[in-house]
Amino acid sequence: MYRSARRGLALAASLTLLVAIAACSSDGDTPGTSAPVPGVTDTEIVVGTHQPLTGPASGGYSKISPATKAYFDYVNAAGGVNGRKITYKVMDDGYNPATTQTAVRQLVLQDKVFAILNGLGTPTHTGVLDFLKTNRVPDLFVASGSRSWDQPDKYPGTFGFQPDYTVEGKILANHVKANFAGQKTCFFGQNDDFGRDSLAGVTKILGADGVAAKQEYVVTNTNIGPQIGALKAAGCQVVILATVPGFTALSLGTAARLAFRPQWIVSSVGGDYTTLAKTLGDAGKPLLEGLTGANYLPAASDTGNPWIQLFQKINKEHNGDAPFDGNIIYGMSVGYLFVQALLAAGKDLTREGIIAAVEKGGFKGPGLAPFLFAKGDHSGYGGMRMMKVTAGVQSYFGPTFKTDEAEAPVTEYADPAVTPPTSGVPTA
């Protein structure tokens, strides 16, 4: 009988706790003040994101969301957008798709964000597409080049930001075709849509038999010796990398240990010099010499560029003067684009309104190539320019190329760059 009394008490206690959770949660929304549009009041817009602040992809990427936040702080200090200040909620998902599930649910269901902005990662973000669609949350400018973001019929609220990996693969392969003809070209990529989409672009240009050897890695296993060894054994002279920064560094380091020195051609997501140099350390830095890649945002080394000057100023004022690199440029460019989209959506901000505004497109910003945003196209930048590390400085060379994820050829894009407004805040 004691036993049943005890059990009853324990049960009652557990239930009390559950009810307490329920009570806590209902404190969150006070009726009456809640706005009709989630996350939007007359004075505030709340947006959220999931980022790898820790874990295998945190190297470099963890600097993106603070930079976006810094740009929003800068805009807020200048009065915000249509009188509304932007609040940016960042959730760490450790680049673990399972954690992203919880993080995004918390942002949407608990924190009631207006939109998810720049959620980072192909494997992580793919898992929350359906959830965001069901809840009609705008899913803007995903920080990944997977082609999954460009499915307007299936995911009407999701938009990409950077050139998709197939576009990038085509442009990288175009460079290989023009400069390394006749050399044995190989591919090393991440074992998910990132690697697959990139390889698809590469083979579109080089042909299926143009890639001599293909290897892949998983982010949870940092031993890539066998794969790099296989590339060496295959006699690769050029290796195209579809890798996150940590694995670019690992590839270069592992290859150096195996006395394997091919020409590296690396995707923009894993090719930022400052990030790689920091990961490799002083001893490993020389390995980066000659590293070739592509990008679509101004180079951190180009201090004469007005965008770089603007971002450096904001970095100093609002980001604690963090070491300035491509991740900071990326984060601030995302912030700039989001403010443009908010302005285009107008004063009566709604979730449908911002999606329509992005579909209308026409945004001009720091990017070298045009955005492809249109009613039937939800992919971001549509072009890239090649860049190379020479004497420890990563800078652009050659023309900007544009293409699409399908069969369009790789062509030059010659529109002149735009300069930022003097205030640093876009105007409608």
Partner 1 sequence: MTMPIRSTLLRHLLYTLAGAGVLLAVTSTLEPFRSFQLATVAAYFCATAGLTVLTGLNGQLSLGHGALMAVGAYTVAIAQNMLSDEGFSGGWLLPVSLLAAVLTTVIAGLVIGLAAARLRGPYLAGVTLAVAVTIPALTTAFDEVFNSDQGLSVYLDPPPASLGLTFPLERWQAWIALGTALIVALLLANLVHSRYGRTLRAVRDNEVAARLAGINVARTQVSAFVVSAACAGLGGGLLAVVTQSVSPGAYSLTLSLFLLMAVVVGGLGSLTGAVWGALLLVVLPDLTHTLTEGLSPSAAQRLEGNLSLAVFGLTLIVVMIAAPGGIQGLFRKLTGARS
Q: For partner 1, give the closer residue by CB, 218 or 393.
A: 218
State the number of binding residues for partner 1 (CB under 8 A).
58
Minimum Å gap between C-beta 425 and partner 1 is 22
Q: Which is nearer to partner 1, 126 or 251 (CB)?
A: 126
Residue with Cβ nearer partner 1 (272 or 404): 272
Q: Binding to partner 1 by residue 6, rule CB under 8 A?
A: yes
Please identify, using beta-carbon distances, which residue of 69 and 402 lies nearer to partner 1. 69
Q: Considering beta carbons, is residue 41 or 54 the nearer one to partner 1?
A: 54
Choose one: 97-105, 150-158, 181-189, 226-234; the region binding partner 1 (CB under 8 A). Answer: 97-105
Per CB under 8 A, does 33 bind partner 1?
no
- Is residue 42 near partner 1 by the rule CB under 8 A? no
- The reply on whether position 400 binds partner 1 by CB under 8 A is no
Sheet with 238-242, side-by-side order of all strands? 214-217, 185-190, 238-242, 263-266, 292-295, 383-390, 393-402, 411-413
Interface stretch with partner 1, choices 90-98, 178-186, 374-382, 390-398 (CB under 8 A): 90-98
Compute the least distance from the CB of residue 127 to partner 1, in Å.
5
Q: Of 191 and 279, which has the nearer Cβ to partner 1?
A: 191
Which of positions 215-254 make contact with partner 1 (CB under 8 A)?
Answer: 218-221
Q: Quick one: which segment of 65-73, 258-266, 268-276, 413-421 binds partner 1 (CB under 8 A)? A: 65-73
The region of 93-101, 170-178, 284-292, 411-419 touching partner 1 under the rule CB under 8 A is 93-101
Regarding 94 and contact with partner 1 (CB under 8 A), the answer is: yes
Q: Is 178 in the site for partner 1 (CB under 8 A)?
A: no
Site string for partner 1, 302-331 (x = CB under 8 A): ------------------x-----------
SS (H, E, C) the chain: CHHHHHHHHHHHHHHHHHHHHHHHHHHCCCCCCCCCCCCECCCEEEEEEEECCCCCCHHHHCCHHHHHHHHHHHHHHCCCECCEEEEEEEEECCCCHHHHHHHHHHHHHHCCCCEEECCECHHHHHCCHHHHHHCCCCEEEEECCCHHHCCCCCCCCEEECCCCHHHHHHHHHHHHHHHCCCCCEEEEEECCHHHHHHHHHHHHHHCHHHCCCEEEECCCCCCCHHHHHHHHHCCCCEEEEECCHHHHHHHHHHHHHCCCCCEEEECHHHCCHHHHHHHHHHHHHHHHCCCEEEECCCCCCCCCCHHHHHHHHHHHHHCCCCCCCHHHHHHHHHHHHHHHHHHHHCCCCCHHHHHHHHHHCCCCCCCCCCECCECCECCCECEEEEEEEECCEEEEEEEEEECCCCCCCCEEECCCCCCCCCCCCCCC
- Euclidean distance between CA atoms 339 and 14, whole angstroms: 46
**Beta bridge mates, 292:** 265, 388
Q: Which two tokens stand for residue 388?
A: 């190379």
**Angle of the 326-345 helix axis to the 64-77 helix axis, nearest 10:** 50
- CA–CA gap between residue 282 and residue 279 (Å, rounded): 9
CB 381, min distance to partner 1, A: 23
Cβ 136 to partner 1 shortest distance, Å:
13
Give me the least distance between CB of 290 and partner 1, in Å please.
31
Minimum separation from the CB atom of position 253 to partner 1 (A): 22
Nearer to partner 1, 85 or 184 (CB): 85
Query: CB of 66: closest distance to partner 1 in angstroms?
Result: 4
Helix axes of 245-257 and 273-284: crossing angle, nearest 10 degrees: 30
CA distance 109 to 48: 11
- Cβ proximity to partner 1: between 127 and 361 the closer is 127
- Give least dist CB 109 to partner 1, A: 4
- Only one of the segments 49-57, 164-172, 231-239, 273-281 lies at the binding site for partner 1 (rule: CB under 8 A); that segment is 49-57
The only residue of 35, 77, 83, 130 in contact with partner 1, by rule CB under 8 A: 130
Site residues (vs partner 1, CB under 8 A) = 2, 4-11, 13-15, 17-19, 21-22, 25-26, 28-29, 53-55, 58, 62, 65-66, 69, 90-92, 94, 96-99, 101-102, 105-106, 109-110, 122-123, 126-127, 130-131, 134, 191-193, 218-221, 320
